[in-house]
């Protein structure tokens, strides 16, 4: 029955969450074309399963940046987790620690990095860089001090894309203190705090130097950009269109993942997110060569039920991924690329 619970996740969150919060979580940019297409793109892939293979012992774990994750997914960075549930990032952190996975914490987080680190979760910092890079330094230093193991630079957001809000905008409903608590007070009013429109490969160097951490680049959709990231020292490239919340009509990640894997897969880890909703979607991404995947909205919908909701998300998804691997004749995620040809690109 695990599929039933995961399948109903969004509908239960719709019933449980205040309308503006639910709308914020689900929304895409403009007409939400990319947001809508994402799950369908994974569903468009077809497997050629192996048989006559011993799938008694299946291990869904993967190495992410040199450390074992017990599951081949992590939690993507999302803003306003404490508007979804008062425990916010702490609930996600505790449940993800228990699942043996990785949590990526938004630099917009409403919970202190120190408190997140204290849960014992393995976590990476997601950073947006401001025009004046020096304004980000205290936030980066706090993340390093709180045990962040990597810094994920989001590169698809030179401006926040327009969203068509139907009901009351979430920003009119949330209390103070749910946003950017890891920055210096008054950060948003400082000149130079707006998002950088001049990000370049040199920023990877700067981040690596400042933090001493591996750098992951999130928001890449093209092989030429992936190559530039790796040449600039990125340890991993994260194929993402921001859940369709930035450039609407951007191609789906399922469509773009193969060319990125073909270009840099031997030199760096490649991750993917966007529209991953169940174990078969995870298998499809692994089959296209992703080292791991990340979940945005599903984690927030599950968080509507607090830590226990996120714990169940991890548990049920693990069951689904193990079942999918077994049915496909794969013992480990690294067996999955043989399920598809390299040129097997979904239709969207
Ligand atoms: C409500 C919401 C807030 C988000 N906030 C951030 C953020 O602060 N930083 C970031 O890099 N990406 C952010 N994202 C994008 C996610 O990290 C991820 O790329 C996307 O949600 C994946 O698609 P999915 O929601 O279909 O799983 C956000 C996504 C959502 C849904």
**Would residue 347 count as lying in a domain?**
no
Distance from residue 177's CA to the centre of ligand 1 (Å): 20
Map residue 50 onto helix, strand or coil.
Answer: coil
- At 60-113, the pLDDT tens digits run 999 999 999 999 999 999 999 999 999 999 999 999 999 999 999 999 999 999
Cα 107 to averaged position of ligand 1 atoms, centre (Å): 12
Q: What is the DSSP string of 296-335?
A: SHHHHHHHTTHHHHHHHHHHHHHHHHHHHHHHTT-SSGGG
Residue 243 backbone phi and psi in degrees, to 5: 65, 25
Burial class (CB in 10 A: 0-12, 13-18, 19+), 17: buried
Question: From CA 3, how far away is CA 172, in angstroms rounded?
Answer: 36
For residue 131, being part of any structural domain is answered with yes
Q: Which atom of ligand 1 is nearest to the CA of 243?
A: 23
C-alpha 201, offset from chain centre: 21
User: Where in the sequence is the domain holding 192, given as residue range(s)?
Assistant: 2-339
**How remote is the CA of residue 76 from the centroid of ligand 1, in Å?**
6
Q: β-strand 67-69 against 62-64: which pairing, if any?
A: antiparallel
CA–CA distance, 308 with 302 (Å, rounded to integer): 8
Cβ of 243 closer than 6 Å to ligand 1, yes or no, is yes
> Does the Cβ of 253 fall within 6 Å of ligand 1?
no
Which residue, 155, 173, 157, 161, is CA-closest to 23? Answer: 173
Which contacts (CB < 8 Å, 24+ apart) does range 299-302 have?
299/75, 299/76, 299/78, 299/92, 300/13, 300/25, 300/78, 300/81, 300/84, 301/9, 301/10, 301/12, 301/13, 301/25, 302/9, 302/13
| Closest atom, ligand 1, to C-alpha of 126 | 11
50 is catalytic: no
b (16+ CB within 10 A) / e for 301-321: bbbbbbbebbbbbbbbbbebb
Does 108 sit in the ligand 1 pocket, CB within 6 Å? yes
Return left, alpha or beta for 235; rule: phi > 0 is left, psi -120 to 50 is alpha, else beta: alpha
Query: How much distance in Å is there from the Cα of 294 to the middle of ligand 1?
Result: 10
Pocket probe for ligand 1: among 239, 296, 317, the residue whose CB has the most ligand atoms within 8 Å is 296
Q: CATH code at 326?
A: 3.20.20.70
Q: The pTM is what?
A: 0.97
Sole residue written with tokens 């880890």: 269
Q: Is residue 293 part of a domain?
A: yes
Among candidate residues 50, 202, 242, 314, the one labeled active-site is 242
Atom from ligand 1 closest to the CA of residue 106: 8
**Total Cβ atoms within 10 A of residue 294:** 25
In a domain, 92, yes or no: yes
Query: What is the chain's pLDDT, residue by residue, as a tens digit (348 residues)?
Result: 556 999 999 999 999 999 999 999 999 999 999 999 999 999 999 999 999 999 999 999 999 999 999 999 999 999 999 999 999 999 999 999 999 999 999 999 999 999 999 999 999 999 999 999 999 999 999 999 999 999 999 999 999 999 999 999 999 998 888 999 999 999 999 999 999 999 999 999 999 999 999 999 999 999 999 999 999 999 999 999 999 999 999 999 999 999 999 999 999 999 999 999 999 999 999 999 999 999 999 999 999 999 999 999 999 999 999 999 999 999 999 999 999 865 565 555
User: Would you say residue 344 lies in a domain?
Assistant: no
Total residue count of the chain as it appears in this document: 348
Three-state SS at 125: strand
**Residue 111, ligand 1, Cβ within 6 A:** no
Distance 329 CA to ligand 1 centre (A): 32
Residue 228 lies in a domain: yes
Which residue has a Cα nearest atom 27 of ligand 1? 296
Q: What is the Å distance from ligand 1's center to 157 Cα?
A: 11
Residue 345 lies in a domain: no
Does the beta carbon of 273 sit less than 6 angstroms from any atom of ligand 1?
A: yes
Give the whole-angstrom CA distance, residue 205 versus residue 210. Answer: 8
Q: Residues 275, 73: contact at Cβ < 8 Å?
A: no
Number of domains in the chain: 1
- Tell me how far apart the alpha carbons of residues 347 and 336 are, in angstroms, rounded to a whole number: 20
Q: Would you say residue 148 lies in a domain? A: yes
């Amino acid at each position: 029955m695990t599929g039933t619970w995961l399948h109903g996740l969004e509908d239960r969150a719709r019933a449980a969450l205040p309308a503006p919060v639910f709308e914020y979580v689900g929304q895409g940019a403009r007409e939400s074309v990319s947001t809508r297409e994402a799950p369908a793109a994974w569903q468009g892939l077809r497997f050629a399963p192996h048989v006559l293979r011993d799938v008694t012992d299946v291990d869904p774990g993967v190495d992410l940046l040199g450390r074992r994750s017990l599951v081949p997914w992590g939690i993507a960075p999302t803003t306003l987790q404490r508007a979804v549930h008062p425990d916010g990032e702490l609930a996600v952190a505790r449940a993800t620690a228990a699942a043996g996975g990785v949590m990526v914490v938004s630099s917009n987080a409403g919970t202190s990095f120190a408190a997140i680190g204290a849960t014992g979760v393995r976590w990476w910092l997601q950073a947006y860089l401001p025009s004046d890079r020096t304004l980000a330094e205290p936030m980066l230093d706090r993340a390093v001090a709180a045990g962040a193991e990597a810094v994920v630079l989001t590169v698809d957001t030179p401006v926040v894309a327009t969203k068509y809000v139907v009901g009351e905008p979430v920003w009119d409903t949330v209390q103070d203190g749910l946003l950017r608590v890891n920055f210096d007070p008054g950060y948003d009013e400082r000149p130079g705090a707006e998002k950088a429109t001049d990000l370049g490969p040199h920023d990877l160097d700067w981040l690596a130097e400042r933090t001493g951490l591996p750098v992951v680049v999130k928001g890449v959709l093209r092989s030429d950009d992936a190559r530039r990231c790796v040449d600039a020292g990125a340890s991993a490239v994260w194929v993402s269109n921001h859940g369709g919340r930035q450039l609407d009509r951007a191609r789906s990640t399922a469509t773009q993942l193969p060319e990125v894997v073909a270009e840099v897969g031997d030199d760096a880890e490649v991750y993917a997110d966007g529209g991953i909703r169940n174990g078969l979607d995870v298998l499809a991404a692994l089959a296209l060569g992703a080292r791991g995947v990340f979940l945005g909205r599903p984690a927030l919908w599950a968080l509507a039920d607090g830590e226990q909701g996120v714990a169940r998300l991890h548990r049920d998804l693990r069951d689904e991924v193990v079942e999918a691997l077994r049915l496909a004749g794969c013992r480990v995620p690294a067996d999955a690329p043989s399920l598809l040809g390299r040129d097997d690109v979904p239709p969207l």
